Structures are given as structure tokens and as C-alpha cells.
Amino acid sequence: MLLYRLIKAMAFAAVVLFATSAGASIVIDWNNAALEEVRLSTALRNGPPMVARALAIVHTCMYDAWAAYDDIAVGTTDINGTRRRPSGERTDVNKAIAVPRAISFAAYRCLRNLYPDDGTSKVPPPSTGLADSPSARLDAMLAALIGPYQPSETSTMNPNKPAGVGNIATQAVIDARANDGSNQYGNAFCPGQNVCPTVPVTVLTPVPCVSQTYPWPPATPLLQLGDAPSELQPLPCVGPGGTQTGPYADYDDSANSYSHYVPSNPLMGFCTPLMAVFPASDPYIDPAQRWPDVADPNH
């Protein structure tokens, strides 16, 4: 099984490399585009867990688009192979044209979902030559990689077109990850102007977030991780603009017995270093640890 997976991975790389000019992999190009959006993102989109999730989703979308043109590969959201293209479209000659387009439209749609024009991205310096918004940068990337295209191709779901194959693959992944617990949509429904899931998005309950100050040094660490240095007080909430909501903000979900995570790293967590629930005994948590050590009540 391991050998089979290795062979398929090598085949994937070989097909994509063959299908692009100057030996540059279309996957690497889109991976670089994703990393550019990571570097320009703000709010919680650039925290380590969020970046890992985003890159995993982008590459899953590209893989699923590629799998439709392979004889054996199984897409992650198409385990029965219903999206596999006819044998006449799975020739090397056709794949050299179709696969880069399918992968490109898949990556484009995926990144438009992960990095929407919602004001949470920085404007790059003029010296970079990059456009001001994620959509404009991704539009330019798509045109640079595949040449002229019709705007309608970015939304078509026609399975007989490479663009449609890519869009269908990506939409399936977006839908599959819509309610994965990451709270990508920030305790709210996905705005209609963005690339959104086609399935209902669970609107999660924000954790009440109140600005507080803390004594320093701490009087007692009994129910907290330690206290924030005075220059960091009051600690902000994690959502855009200092609110308790926003992309990837934490939440409480009593139906699934989930209590919010209270880390100290502002790229990864929530309001304050106070514990909502402190276990009586937990080998992973030392209540004597001072801020900014991390505790999670959901072990």
C-alpha cells in the first residue's frame, strides 16, 4: 500500500510537471500564491494552525482536480470515481492541456474561499508589483498561468470543461470542510459575495470576551495561567477590530461538549489567559506556570 501511494504521488508530480512550461510545476506556482496570501493576511488567518489547514485544503483541492484525469487515483471527495473523465480525456496529450487548467481553477476557487476580500489582508508595498486585494492578485495569477480565460470559467460547474472539473472538485472540498470546527467564517454565515459553501454553515456561539487587567506579579495562579505583563494590558480579543468574533475565533459548543481554548499566543487563541474550566488534575497543565504558557480544557 505504501509503495502504491508513493507511485501515485510520483505520477501526480510527473503529470503536473509534464503539463507546464519551462519545467515549472503548476502546483508549486499555486502553492507560492497561497503563501503570498498567508504573508499578507492579518487577523487570525495567519496563525500556525490556520495556515496549516489552509495549505492542506488548497493541496487537497488541486489533488482532487488532478485525480479526475487519472486512471486510478481516487479524489478525497469522490471515492467512487464518479468525476473521473472518459478515457479519451485521460491521454497524455489531453492532460497536458486540461490538467493545468483544472488544477488552476481548483486552486483559484479554493484561495478565493480561504482569503476573501474582507479587509483582513494587508496592502502590499508598490515595489512588489502585487495588486491590493486577494481577488485581484489571484485573478492575475490565474491569467499568468493559463493565459486568457472567460470570467464565467471561475464559476462554471460544467464537468465537461477543465475549469468545471476544478471548480467542482474545490466546491466539494469547501463543503466538506465547512463545519469542521475551525470556525473559518467567524461565528457567522459566509457572505454571499464570497466563494461560500453550498451546505448550511453552523453559526457557533462566541465566547463572551471582556477586557480585563491582571495583577503583576500574580497573587495566585490557582485558576489562571499566570498574568499578563502590564505593557500588554488590557489583553485584546482575537477577532478583527478587537471583537470576540471573526475568522477562526474560538467558540463554545455545549452540544458537542466543547469549551473554548485559552492559549496565550494571540495568533492562535482567545481573549485572556484566564481558564474557563481548569481540570482538577491534568498532567499536561501546570497551574503554576506563568503567562504565556498554554492550557487547553479539551484534552
Identify the residue whose cell numbers are 504573508: 39
Q: Quick: pLDDT tens for 214-249.
A: 444 444 443 344 444 554 444 445 455 556 677 777
Alpha-carbon distance of 191 to 275, in angstroms, equals 32
pLDDT value of position 241: 52
Q: Looking at residues 58-69, what average pLDDT do you find?
A: 97
Retrieve residue 24's grid coordinates.
515549472
Query: Which one is the CATH code of 2-177: 1.20.120, 1.10.10, 1.20.144, 1.10.150?
Result: 1.20.144
- Mean pLDDT is highest, among 14-18, 117-121, 160-164, for 160-164
In this structure, of 158-162, 182-186, 241-245, the range with the lowest mean pLDDT score is 241-245
C-alpha cell at 176: 466538506
- pLDDT on residue 73: 95
The answer to whether residue 213 scores a pLDDT higher than 90 is no
More confident residue, 299 or 91: 91
Pairwise CA distance, residues 268 & 286, whole Å:
20
Average per-residue pLDDT in the chain? 76
Q: What sign for the dihedral angle of Cα 37, 40, 42, 48?
A: positive
| Alpha carbon distance 68, 238 (integer Å) | 40
Q: Which residue spans of the chain are classified as CATH 1.20.144? A: 2-177
Cα–Cα distance measured from residue 111 to residue 174, given in angstroms and rounded to the nearest whole number: 10
Q: Which residue has the higher pLDDT, 41 or 88?
A: 88
Q: Which amino acid is at 29?
A: D
Mean pLDDT to the nearest integer, 51-59 = 95
Distance of CA 5 to the CA centre of its chain: 25
The predicted model scores a pTM of 0.74
